[in-house]
Amino acid sequence: MQDILRVRDVSKTFISGSRELTVLSEVNFTIKEGGIVAIVGPSGSGKTTLLGLCAGLDRPTTGEIFIFDQKISHLDEDEKAAVRNQYVGFIFQNFQLIPTLTALENVMVPLELQGNSKIARSRSRELLDRVGLGDRMTHYPSQLSGGEQQRVSIARAFSNTPRLLFADEPTGNLDGDTGDNIENLLFELNQEQGTTLVIVTHDLELAQQTNRIIRLKSGKIISDQLTLVHGSSSIHH
């Protein structure tokens, strides 16, 4: 299996006024295509920042990040958008749905950006059905509960059939049963489409079902271990 994500000596420092805040330092890991990796750690340990850097939503202060052989950390905005469109899905911790679009239209956006307008509507309907929102397609985000918005964002993240999916606390706003359904959906898509999953989670039960757990603390990796679940993911330092 190919390396789908390589993170090399990455650090991130935010500057606010005269103060510097180092949120990530010397982070290194590599993920092979097809695996399921959990990133866990206390609130404020840098998980969301790390995911954003990996998806090219922000730039590291030092270090490099590759998606396949594309140096996502150093491409220009247009090039990054093209890589994201081709390979990446992202489930945001705060959903980031477009408020002026219905649930269905939100899910259609990545497909339309990909130039797949023809199948956009039917595929998006299918995905919304799958996350249990078949009867909410024409609702706007403000008309949906937090958990429902989260499910729309999950359907959207899958719509362009990404090879690499980043999920930031994907079950964080869901009750037990809905959370379990979403977990199953993520795992099914990994099985069916070979989608590599990188899941930030507080849920240790979910983390234990992945192939590998990376623990962050104060912006550093404090452990990186395979779980007992067999899978294609393996560690390369």
Ligand X SMILES: Nc1ncnc2c1ncn2[C@@H]1O[C@H](COP(=O)(O)OP(=O)(O)O)[C@@H](O)[C@H]1O
Q: How far is the CB of 71 from ligand X (least distance, A)?
A: 22
Q: Which of residues 2-31 bind ligand X (CB under 6 A)?
A: 14, 16, 21, 23
Residue 16 interacting entry, from ligand X, Mg ion, none, C-beta within 5 to 8 Å by type? ligand X
Phi, psi of 221 (to 5 degrees): -80, 120
199 counts as binding ligand X under rule CB under 6 A: no
Residue span 29-48 as binding mask against ligand X, x where in contact by CB under 6 A, dash where not: ------------x-xxxxxx
For residue 47, the minimal CB distance to Mg ion (Å) is 5
Q: Taking CB positions, which residue lies at the least distance from Mg ion?
A: 48
Binding partner at 221 among ligand X, Mg ion, none, C-beta below 5 to 8 Å by kind: none
Q: Which does 14 bind (CB under 5 to 8 A by kind): Mg ion, ligand X, none?
A: ligand X
Binding characters for ligand X, 47-86, by CB under 6 A (x = yes)? xxx-------------------------------------
Residue 193 exposed, middle or buried by CB count within 10 Å (0-12, 13-18, 19+):
middle
Cβ atoms of 8 and 31 within 8 Å: the answer is: no
Site string for Mg ion, 47-86 (x = CB under 5 A): xx--------------------------------------
Q: Which residues bind ligand X (CB under 6 A)?
A: 14, 16, 21, 23, 41, 43-49
- The residue ranges that bind Mg ion (CB under 5 A) are 47-48
